[in-house]
């Protein structure tokens, strides 16, 4: 994990042993798609601008449409003007960067396309540009196996070839445990597991990575990070937008598959895992898998007691009318697909025994935010707690992952004056204030790590399959059961009444994330 540099240089710790990226070629399958123009090319451009790219590199886009190198470059320049994170594009830097962009036309199922790709790679001359290959599969998951097989037969992807070859695949990694296993089997027919980089952009966010840094480099907090001091944990990933034009996808996926199986369980693993033996990728990923396997299974018969689903109906968000989910394009008029999920999970290990973890995510909620809240046990009902009653709030530590990245500690302070008044106050750390506004986009870091070969921020096969085991059991418990009235919520609210009931069972309630600025 990269170390953070303090504004006080005398106390900083810089990771100077980081392996540099070697000369290589990045091949993007699905080069005409939205992901390429919105995320991948802008990320590579900024890496080049910041001098993070290898000294020699090429980027090849492969797609079915007829294009020339120049026409593809022109398209990408227009997109970069819109999606660059740093304002106006530097024309000189772009011209230098664009010289390394090439287009290869072809159908993913056509062996001739891979022959043309091989000829283009060979034309680059230098051995590393032909042998060190990063294949980014920005395609449908159903095409992953085809692409891997064709690359292998074209002698572009080998388990033990010259140089190195790696493949990067986007989620979803299957739609259940069986399909995830089948997909993993397809991916590893012609590659080793170590060559497969399953990307979850959430893990590239600076503050998600900082969870481990915060936990394991600050002894004052790590001593409290257990069942003795923690009452419960809340993880919230809320989205202000509805499903919009993704209704067709959401009808197949739902919030459980789209968000819980990957993003929320990843954050849960980082927040609650044991200290790894080292900062090596496999050491960290081993601990994440151990944690996921320690989550108490939810039997289908118990799903109603531990999991709430919800679906939004018409409402207002920031003064803007929003249609209900069932009125969205490509959504069935009687759909029972969930746009909201809340869970109560228990981790059956020594550290967390008996501590409930509450997770929630949803569409059309009041704000877009991601936050982890560690709620500590309340003080005994004596002294100040006995006198101040409900004003004596339990201490809490919140890790804000997005937006307004930062950390705040909530504790009680005396209100100035002659009376003995108490009020909760916050000690606030802001990334912008301490380190400046610059934070690299998630895809910048993830692409660089893939070029370097560091798999720390990527998801391993057993990690994917363990997460699907948790999710599949929940889906089985929902099978054939329609949504109840308490599971619907108006757009612009914090979710269904049933989600409040879930916490009220144990005397808890949801804490709504607050604007930290």
Residue 180 tokens, joined: 């995830």
For residue 233, tell me if it sits in a domain: yes
Q: How far apart are CA 340 and CA 238, in angstroms?
A: 9
The total number of residues written for the chain in this structure: 517
Domain ends where: 170, 193, 217? Answer: 170
Q: Is residue 392's pLDDT more than 70? A: no
Q: How far apart are CA 369 and CA 270, in angstroms?
A: 18
Same domain, 227 and 345: yes
Q: Is residue 5's pLDDT more than 50? A: no
For residue 258, tell me if it sits in a domain: yes
Active site (annotated) includes residue 263: yes
Same domain, 327 and 369: yes
For residue 186, tell me if it sits in a domain: no
Q: How far apart are CA 488 and CA 309, in angstroms?
A: 9
Q: What share of the chain is helix, strand, coil (3-state, %, to 5)?
A: 40, 20, 40
Q: Is residue 515's pLDDT more than 70? A: no
For residue 493, tell me if it sits in a domain: yes
Residue 252 tokens, joined: 């197949």
Task: Tell me the pTM.
Answer: 0.89
Q: What is the mean pLDDT of residues 389-412?
A: 80
**Beta-strand relationship, 340-346 and 307-313:** antiparallel
Q: How far apart are CA 93 and CA 77, in angstroms?
A: 12
For residue 434, tell me if it sits in a domain: no
On the CB side of 249, CA atoms within 13 Å amount to 13
Same domain, 49 and 101: yes
Q: What is the DSSP string of 402-430?
A: ESS-EEEEEEEEEESSSS-EEEEEEEEEE
> What percent of the chain shows pLDDT beyond 70?
91
On the CB side of 57, CA atoms within 13 Å amount to 23
The radius of gyration computed from the CA coordinates of the chain, to the nearest angstrom, equals 24
Q: Is 38 exposed, middle or buried (0-12, 13-18, 19+ CB in 10 A)?
A: middle
Which has the closest alpha carbon to 298: 471, 483, 502, 503? 471
Same domain, 145 and 215: no
Q: Is residue 337's pLDDT more than 90? A: yes
Residues 129 and 24: beta-carbon distance below 8 Å? yes
Same domain, 494 and 366: yes
Same domain, 362 and 474: yes
Q: Is residue 1's pLDDT more than 60? A: no
Structural domain containing residue 135: 9-170
For residue 14, tell me if it sits in a domain: yes
Q: What is the pLDDT of residue 9?
A: 45
CATH number at residue 165: 3.40.50.720
For residue 72, tell me if it sits in a domain: yes
Same domain, 16 and 61: yes
Same domain, 237 and 155: no
Same domain, 61 and 209: no
For residue 183, tell me if it sits in a domain: no
Residues 451 and 457: beta-carbon distance below 8 Å? no
Q: What is the DSSP string of 4-55?
A: PPPSSGGG----TTPPPPPSEEEEEETTTSHHIIIIIHHHHHHHHHTT-S-S
pLDDT digits (tens, 9 = 90+) for 454-497: 998 899 999 999 999 999 999 999 998 999 999 999 999 999 99
Count of domains observed in the chain: 2
Same domain, 328 and 473: yes
Name the residue with tokens 């849960």. Answer: 268
Which of 263, 428, 508, 511 is the catalytic position?
Answer: 263
Phi, psi dihedral angles at 299 (to 5 degrees): -70, 150
Q: How far apart are CA 204 and CA 201, in angstroms?
A: 5
The whole-chain average pLDDT of the chain stands at: 88
Instruction: Name the β-bridge partners of 337.
Output: none
Domain ends where: 123, 155, 170? Answer: 170
Same domain, 340 and 224: yes
Q: What is the pLDDT of residue 391?
A: 57
Same domain, 166 and 220: no
CATH number at residue 245: 3.30.360.10
Banded pLDDT at 412 (limits 50, 70, 90): confident
pLDDT digits (tens, 9 = 90+) for 161-219: 789 999 999 888 889 999 999 999 999 999 999 999 998 877 777 767 778 888 888 88
Q: Is residue 86's pLDDT more than 50? A: yes
Domain ends where: 118, 150, 170? Answer: 170
Q: Which string of b and e fits 233-254 if b means at least 16 CB within 10 Å?
A: bbbbbbbbebbeebbeebbebb
Q: How many CB atoms lie within 10 A of CB 414?
A: 12
């Amino acid at each position: 994990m990269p170390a953070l540099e303090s504004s006080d240089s005398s106390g900083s710790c810089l990771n100077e042993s980081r392996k540099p990226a070697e000369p290589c070629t990045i091949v993007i399958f699905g080069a005409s798609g939205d992901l390429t123009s919105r995320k991948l090319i802008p990320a590579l451009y900024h890496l080049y601008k910041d001098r993070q790219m290898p000294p020699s590199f090429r980027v090849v886009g492969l797609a079915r449409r007829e294009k020339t190198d120049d026409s593809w470059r022109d398209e990408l320049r227009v997109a970069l003007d819109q999606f660059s994170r740093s304002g106006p594009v530097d024309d000189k830097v772009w011209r230098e960067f664009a010289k390394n962009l090439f287009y290869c036309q072809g159908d993913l199922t056509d062996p001739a396309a891979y022959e043309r790709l091989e000829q283009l790679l060979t034309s680059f001359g230098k051995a590393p540009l032909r042998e060190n290959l990063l294949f980014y599969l920005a395609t449908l998951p159903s095409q992953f196996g085809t692409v891997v097989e064709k690359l292998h037969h074209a002698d572009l992807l080998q388990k033990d070839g010259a140089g190195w070859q790696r493949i990067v695949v986007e989620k979803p990694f299957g739609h259940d445990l069986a399909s995830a296993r089948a997909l993993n089997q397809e991916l590893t027919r012609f590659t080793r597991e170590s060559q497969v980089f399953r990307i979850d952009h959430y893990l590239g966010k600076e503050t998600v990575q900082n969870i481990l840094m915060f936990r394991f480099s600050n002894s004052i907090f790590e001593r409290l990070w257990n069942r003795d001091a923690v009452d419960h944990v809340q993880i919230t990933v809320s989205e202000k937008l509805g499903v919009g034009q993704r209704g067709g996808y959401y009808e197949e996926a739902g919030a459980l598959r789209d968000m819980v199986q990957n993003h929320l369980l990843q954050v849960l693993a980082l927040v609650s895992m044991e200290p790894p033996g080292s900062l090596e990728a496999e050491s960290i990923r081993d601990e994440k898998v151990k944690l996921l396997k320690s989550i108490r299974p939810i039997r289908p018969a118990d799903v109603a007691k531990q999991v709430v689903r919800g679906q939004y109906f018409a409402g207002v968000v920031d003064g803007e009318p929003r249609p209900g989910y069932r009125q969205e394009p490509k959504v069935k008029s009687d759909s029972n697909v969930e746009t909201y999920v809340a869970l109560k999970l228990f981790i059956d290990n020594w550290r967390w025994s008996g501590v409930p973890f509450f997770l929630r995510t949803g569409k059309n909620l009041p704000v877009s935010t991601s936050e982890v809240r560690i709620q500590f046990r309340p003080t005994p009902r004596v002294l100040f707690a006995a006198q101040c009653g409900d004003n004596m709030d339990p201490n809490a530590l919140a890790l804000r992952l997005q937006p307004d990245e930062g950390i705040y500690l909530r504790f009680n302070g005396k209100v100035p004056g002659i009376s003995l008044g108490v009020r909760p106050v916050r000690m606030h750390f802001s990334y912008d204030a301490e380190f400046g506004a610059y934070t690299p986009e998630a895809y910048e870091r993830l692409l660089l790590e893939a070029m370097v070969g560091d798999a720390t921020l990527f998801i391993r096969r057993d990690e994917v399959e363990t997460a699907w085991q948790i999710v599949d059991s929940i889906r089985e418990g929902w099978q054939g059961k329609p949504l109840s009235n308490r599971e619907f919520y108006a757009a612009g609210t914090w979710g269904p009444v049933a989600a409040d009931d879930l916490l009220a069972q144990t005397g808890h309630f949801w804490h709504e994330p607050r604007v930290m600025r």
